Amino acid sequence: MFNKFFVFILGITSFTALAANPDTLGQKNTLYRTYIGECPNRSASSFAMLVMKEFEKDHSLKDVKEVILREKLDEKHFLSDYRISYNPVAKTLNLQMECPAPLAKVQVYKSTGEEHYSAILGENAKLYDPGYENVLKAEKKLNFHLPLLAISMEQLETTAPTNLAKIIRLMDKDLRGQISEIIYNKNNELTFVFALGRKATSVFMGAEAWEEKLPKLTRLIGYVHKNKRYPSSINLVNAKKVVVKFSDNT
């Protein structure tokens, strides 16, 4: 369900920017209905204000969408989707926004191993500005640390982001919140590093059948927590054979 804001050009108080400068968008008595979903309030409000300002010029949805595309406003405001419609009879513009749940902090590196840039992996498998995490935490819409994922520029051009987003998305939030690092090597082999009982536990998932292995991983993590005996590694490369190793001092 989307959260709702019903915004009038006259007498508006929902958006502080407009309240501080009420003449910026004109005096045409247009009613704006804005649905922000799970988006951060601040960035969603900023996007809505820009849409309103542009629409008030000529009441042209085409012009609004051209500005959004040209200036990449959806990317700048962390949107995964948006929908804009106008009812000329009711003089009402409806704006719906959707933002992706963040899955991991990403470090993109070159083939030489040199770090190139940082980003946030969204549930839609797209990369967003790293500031997205801070915005969500500031509004208490993210209450756990995101795992760190290192991936090459070459891998970004493959199905890797989609595959990784899918397996992380399938995890329940409790399990996901215990991952400290995600490793995806050049052979497309996936490794999760969990922080369990103040120890690092490496879980080797191999290069295939991740979805099939996920229920086993979930049960294993639950079992080690119950027994408070934490392994150094869990090998799930072979879906039919699970190998659990403990360090000597466990």
Q: Which residues of the chain have pLDDT under 50?
A: 1-27
pTM of the model: 0.81
Side-chain half-sphere of 157: how many Cα atoms within 13 Å? Answer: 6
pLDDT, position 28: 57
The closest of 87, 164, 156, 183 to 124, measured between CA atoms, is 164
Spatial separation of the C-alpha atoms in residues 59 and 42, rounded to whole Å: 25
Q: Helix 41-58 vs helix 61-71: angle between axes, to the nearest 10 degrees?
A: 130
pLDDT, position 248: 65
Spatial separation of the C-alpha atoms in residues 84 and 97, rounded to whole Å: 9
pLDDT, position 14: 38
C-alpha 7, offset from chain centre:
27
Spatial separation of the C-alpha atoms in residues 169 and 21, rounded to whole Å: 42
Helix (H) or strand (E) holding 7: strand 4-8
Q: Which residue segments constitute the domains of the chain, with CATH numbers given?
A: 4-98 (no CATH), 102-245 (3.40.50.10960)
